[in-house]
Structure 1
Amino acid sequence: MSRDRTLPAHQLAAVVTALYARADDVGWSTLTPQERTRHYAEWVETPDVGKILAAYMTPEKARTWIKDGPMKEYVNASRGTGRYARFGRHGGTGPTDVAAAALGPAATVVPGSQGVKPPHCLAEDPAGTTSYLAWGEAGNFRNLLWAALRAAVVDGLPAHVVVLEPPGRPTPSADIKTHRAMAQRCDLGLHYLPEVAGRLAGPVPAGDADGGDRDQ
């Protein structure tokens, strides 16, 4: 967001790091919209978030920035991708694991091919065949399916959807049945991968905090 430029790099790093730690503590991915709204209001009042932002914007603008900036990217960042990746988790399930799940343990990710919305990359199998891989949670299956189908139709690539299963949240059997039927109809590969949560990043050095948008 352009408002990122309003905050000095060290302040941005401190606020986003605090937000992601707080989000982890409350189990952000399991919260309802109403519960998330309550936390936005609470965080605007906290010393490690709201007090810092108050020097640069009004409480209402701070709440909007939190919601539409760092927290909108929280899921991507928790998987080490997206604009705020440097503040998220590292060392968990990543593109290499996804490629292995879809194409086998000897598969390699094509350098520079990673992207977001949805998370995706190109990978090569031992025979040298390049495939498109899209991955994410079951709740985003529609977008994963569309991205893979588009790669297959437009780019002529073998394409696969890899559904990540966060710790303690296996995909319901009814959803798997539906996924399989849709993937088969679209002639796409479908795989399920138990996700390993990475380590939450600590404070980012000021020199690295303004590293810019790393989306590809």
Structure 2
Amino acid sequence: MAPRIPDNVRDEIITSLYRQAADIDWHLLSQGDKARWYTTWVDAPEIGGRLKQFLDPAKVRVWIKDVPMKEFARAEEGVGPYARYVTQRFDGAEEIVKRTLGKSWTVVPGTAGIKPQHCLVIDTEAGAEDTTRYMCWGNQKSFSTLVWAALQRAIAMRNKPLTVVVTRDSETVSSVDQLDFEKIGTRCGIEVRYLRREVKEV
């Protein structure tokens, strides 16, 4: 049986992977480019070379892909146990809510979640009026997931749910896609908005 990866080695390798992934804009890479990076990491003495001391060499690529890199996107959101390894992180739910809806809006405590990123929000300046809304966000590739999540909540809530299509770096949502998204939103009774995000150094 192969020896367990020591915690300090595991921490150093994941930190290195996440730093490199941030530098190369991992989220923008094609599947082919990602595959080439997996090969690069497997062959790198400081990553694959160290892992081969504790893992079957044939399993090193699988470990890199299915353990740290599977969690990279969530880690950048500050979510999950791998968040401590990232060198850059997005603003949290509270900042997204305020940038999208305004400073008087806030996250209802205990309602933030993932798959997709979501929360309930409320307008703190609305007095006794019930302004509670469901809000979820993700990139344009996840739009169908956002719509489905919003629809599931819409049937049990009075106020219209909100989906936020987020972009970063050089990403853009074309005018054609925006029109399609808004038509879908109108048909489904869902508000659609857009937000450009930036990662910040941790």
TM-score scaled to structure 1, two decimals? 0.81
Tell me the equivalent position of 1:118.
116
Structure 2 gaps, min length 5: none
The farther-off stretch of 123-132 and 54-63 is 123-132
Q: Matched residues in 2 for 1:51 and 1:160: separation?
A: 46
The farther-off stretch of 89-98 and 61-70 is 89-98
Higher relative contact order (CA 8 A, sep 6+): 1
Tell me the equivalent position of 1:93.
91
Tell me the equivalent position of 1:211.
none
TM-superposition CA deviations, 1:73-93 (whole Å, max 9, x none): 222222222342222255533
Q: Matched residues in 2 for 1:97 and 1:52: separation?
A: 39
Q: Secondary structure at the match of 2:50?
A: helix
Determine whether 1:106 maps to 2:104. yes
Q: Contact 1:130/1:158 (CA < 8 Å) preserved in 2?
A: no
Determine whether 1:184 maps to 2:182. no
Deviation at 1:140, TM superposition (A): 1.0
Tell me the equivalent position of 1:3.
none
Deviation at 1:107, TM superposition (A): 1.0
Tell me the equivalent position of 1:14.
12
Give the number of equivalent residue pairs: 195
Deviation at 1:44, TM superposition (A): 1.4
Q: How does 1:202-213 map to 2 (within 5 A)?
A: none
- Equivalent position amino acid for 1:159 in 2: P
Structure-2 change in CA distance of 1:40 and 1:21 (3 Å): same
- Equivalent position amino acid for 2:45 in 1: P
The farther-off stretch of 160-169 and 122-131 is 122-131
Structure-2 change in CA distance of 1:13 and 1:51 (3 Å): same
Q: Matched residues in 2 for 1:33 and 1:55: separation?
A: 28
Structure 1 gaps, min length 5: 1-5, 202-216
Tell me the equivalent position of 2:77.
79
Tell me the equivalent position of 1:174.
176
Tell me the equivalent position of 2:134.
132
Q: Kindly, what percent of the aligned residue pairs are identical?
A: 35
Tell me the equivalent position of 1:159.
161
Q: Secondary structure at the match of 2:70?
A: coil
Q: Secondary structure at the match of 2:69?
A: coil
TM-score scaled to structure 2, two decimals? 0.87
TM-superposition CA deviations, 1:22-53 (whole Å, max 9, x none): 11222212222111111111101223321331
Q: Matched residues in 2 for 1:177 and 1:129: separation?
A: 27
- Equivalent position amino acid for 2:51 in 1: L
Deviation at 1:136, TM superposition (A): 0.9
Which structure has the greater CA radius of gyration? 2
Q: Contact 1:138/1:164 (CA < 8 Å) preserved in 2?
A: yes
1:31 to 16, 24, 29: 29
Tell me the equivalent position of 2:48.
50
The farther-off stretch of 137-146 and 27-36 is 27-36
Q: Matched residues in 1 for 2:156 and 2:64: separation?
A: 37
Q: Contact 1:79/1:89 (CA < 8 Å) preserved in 2?
A: no
TM-superposition CA deviations, 1:124-178 (whole Å, max 9, x none): 1123522211111111111111111111125666411011111222211111001
